[in-house]
């Protein structure tokens, strides 16, 4: 049998990154950027108020001169939310000073396009994001004033630049907003919008086609007869591929004579970066599909030293040498094989730096068994000790020699215990490697 690492290398060496496409930034979340995006204008593009208050000249409300000889007023806290709204421009609460009163000669809301010039010893009411009047060099927060409408009294001074977002504070023209090869998350999408990019060049999600094969299969909208079962795999694997980040097409059940099967497979090979066929390995019923696939390329059906899911196949088929997986008909074995081999290929095609699941060390809570000479993947429930924060893991279906093929146990799992090939037994208290699959609420 082939070791898991050797099989995984065969698979990952075949990873194909789709050709870049230009798409709307609203659809680019999670994709890898295929271009360097530079800003062609500053952000902000004009001086603006970082907080609600009054646009002033700092010198008119005390400025930065020493004010220790002036009458103090009771200490007041910094404006609520000032640090959040003003960011790095938020000033620490200065010393109280002699109160100064200025006439309020106008109001500038956010989005105003009317230029306004501030006269010395005057104030203008401004709102967060509003363009700052010419000659104004600071914003007096509402909380540091009496909130007057016709005249405003400053209870505290502000320094030049306080609570002001200067031109280019965030981005300067020529700055790289998003680098090529970066994964586009919410912050990167926001930066693209900030520099005025409605579309971006990305590597698209790999197209993954899922189909099931087996004369015993019926779709879930039909009533199975004697000897028939529902097609579980195409639905489960399509969901797994979508969760991995792929653009998924679920064919459902592929059926017909060999020539018809070949037409179906060829059609989807030309439209896919990855093809997954379940039920095409193991048993005499898979022989027809395997023969059809071998007409389209090389298919290796060597057993893999793992449990469950040792019976599987992999090949590069069609003119484009599309990576093609042959997975078992058993739903649990198929999902485990998908997790270990297909998911990493999808993640690599998306440009992810770490294609594998997070692995943690956890203390086993119950007895686990694995087959000699095979790497065991036991579905499990991963937990944290409330007092020590240590990871704890409880084996579910397939533990302690129980049946490994039951789907219900897998649905309760949020992890898989990975047991080395030379270990056949795990006792309570032993520390094991655990693949963290998903967070369950």
The full DSSP string for 64-82 is: TS--TTSPP----PPPTTH
The pLDDT of 73-86, averaged and rounded, is 48
Q: How sure is the predictor about 54, in pLDDT bands with cuts at 50, 70 and 90? A: very high
Contacts of residue 275, defined as CB under 8 A and 6 or more positions apart, other chains included, come to 208, 209, 211, 265, 268, 269, 317, 322, 323, 324, 325
149 vs 82, residue with greater confidence: 149
Alpha helices in 283-427, H assignment, sequence order: 287-294, 331-337, 343-349, 407-411
| pLDDT tens-digit readout, 329-371 | 999 999 999 999 999 999 988 888 778 899 999 999 999 999 9
How many CB atoms neighbour CB 387 within 10 A?
A: 6
The answer, yes or no, to whether residue 69 has pLDDT greater than 50, is no
Beta bridge partners of 382: 393
The pLDDT of 134-155, averaged and rounded, is 92
Q: Which long-range contacts (CB under 8 A, 24 or more apart) does 3-10 make?
A: 3/304, 3/305, 3/421, 4/304, 4/305, 4/306, 4/340, 4/375, 7/302, 7/304, 7/314, 7/341, 8/340, 8/341, 8/344, 10/300, 10/314
Q: Are 351 and 249 in contact (CB under 8 A)?
A: no
Distance CA 246, CA 147 (A): 55
Q: Are 351 and 32 in contact (CB under 8 A)?
A: yes
Q: Note the maximum CA span of the chain.
A: 99
pLDDT recorded at residue 27: 94
Distance CA 434, CA 417 (A): 4
* pTM given for the model: 0.74
């Amino acid at each position: 049998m082939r070791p898991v690492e050797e099989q995984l290398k065969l698979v990952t060496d075949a990873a194909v990154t789709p050709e870049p496409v230009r798409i709307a930034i609203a659809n680019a979340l999670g994709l890898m950027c295929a271009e360097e995006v530079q800003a062609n204008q500053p952000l902000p593009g004009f001086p603006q108020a970082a907080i609600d208050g009054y646009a002033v000249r700092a010198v008119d409300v005390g400025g930065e001169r020493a004010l220790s000889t002036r009458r103090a007023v009771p200490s007041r806290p910094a404006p609520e939310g000032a640090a959040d709204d003003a960011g790095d421009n938020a000033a620490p609460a200065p010393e109280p000073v002699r109160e100064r009163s200025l006439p309020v000669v106008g109001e500038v809301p956010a989005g105003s396009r009317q230029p306004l010039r501030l006269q010395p010893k005057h104030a203008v009411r401004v709102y967060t994001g509003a363009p700052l009047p010419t000659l104004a060099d600071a914003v007096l927060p509402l909380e540091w004033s009496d909130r007057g409408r016709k005249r405003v009294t400053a209870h505290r001074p502000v320094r030049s630049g306080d609570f002001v977002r200067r031109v280019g504070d965030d981005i300067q023209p020529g700055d790289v907003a998003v680098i090529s090869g970066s994964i586009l998350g919410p912050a990167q999408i926001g930066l693209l919008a900030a520099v005025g990019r409605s579309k971006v060049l990305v590597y698209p999600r790999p197209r993954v086609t899922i189909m099931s094969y087996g004369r015993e299969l019926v779709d879930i909208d039909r009533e199975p007869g004697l000897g028939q079962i529902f097609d579980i795999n195409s639905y489960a694997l399509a969901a797994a591929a979508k969760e991995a980040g792929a653009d998924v097409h679920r064919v459902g059940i592929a059926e017909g004579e060999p020539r018809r099967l070949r037409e179906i497979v060829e059609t989807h090979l030309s439209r896919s970066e990855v093809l997954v066929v379940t039920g095409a390995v193991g048993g005499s019923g898979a022989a027809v599909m395997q023969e059809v696939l071998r007409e389209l390329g090389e298919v290796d059906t060597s057993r893999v030293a793992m449990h469950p899911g040792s019976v599987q196949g992999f090949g590069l088929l069609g003119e484009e040498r599309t990576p093609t997986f042959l997975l078992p008909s058993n739903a649990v074995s198929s999902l485990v094989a998908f997790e270990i081999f297909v998911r990493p290929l999808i993640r690599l095609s998306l440009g992810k730096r770490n294609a594998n699941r997070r692995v943690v060390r956890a203390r086993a809570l119950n007895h686990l068994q694995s087959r000699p000479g095979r790497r065991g993947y036991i579905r499990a429930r991963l937990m944290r000790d409330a007092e020590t924060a240590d990871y704890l893991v409880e084996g579910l279906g397939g533990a302690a020699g129980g049946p490994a093929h039951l789907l219900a146990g897998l649905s309760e799992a949020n992890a898989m215990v990975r047991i080395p090939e030379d270990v056949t037994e795990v006792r309570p208290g032993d520390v094991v490697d655990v693949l963290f699959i998903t967070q369950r609420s």
